[in-house]
Amino acid sequence: MNSKALFLTIILFHLIPLIACISPPETAVVTRVIDGDTVVIDTGQRVRYIGIDTPEVYPQPEAGGMEAWQANRKLVEGKKVRLERDVSDTDKYGRLLRYVYVNDTLVNAELVRLGLAEARAYPPDTEYQDLLEQLETEARQVGRGMWAK
């Protein structure tokens, strides 16, 4: 092995662990639920759910905000979740943008199905937007959650 190849091998050997340390995890434990569409994971990073929007809890709770927050807590708090990236890694606030799964349940979709979140496209992150919009339409039609009459 020539000296250039040896040098590159040594550099790569030292860089790979560093890259792994700064990459967002594919799985994590949710340590805190901020509101209906944002959580904190065990790395301390905030994760914003892609493709949905829930009523706010802070600074003043909006109608349905507490219900969305409570449902999100029930779904993910203290649980191991799988995080799926779309196109963007983070938003302008530095939050990870992810689809969040508990086992086989897509939490983003479940909140919409329950009528606790609206489907909201944030291009370019639209992988499951058709599904989310279909679930919102169904929730509206049956009057579930925020769509109750």
The catalytic residue positions are 48, 56, 95
Residues present in the chain in total = 149
Closest CA relative to residue 89, chosen from 25, 38, 133, 40: 25
> What does each C-alpha distance from 96 to 30, 49, 62 come to in angstroms?
13, 8, 24
Q: Are 72 and 26 in contact (CB under 8 A)?
A: no
> What does each C-alpha distance from 8 to 1, 12, 15 come to in angstroms?
11, 6, 10
| Strand pairing category for 96-102 and 80-84 | antiparallel
Q: Which helix (H) or strand (E) element contains residue 4?
A: helix 3-22
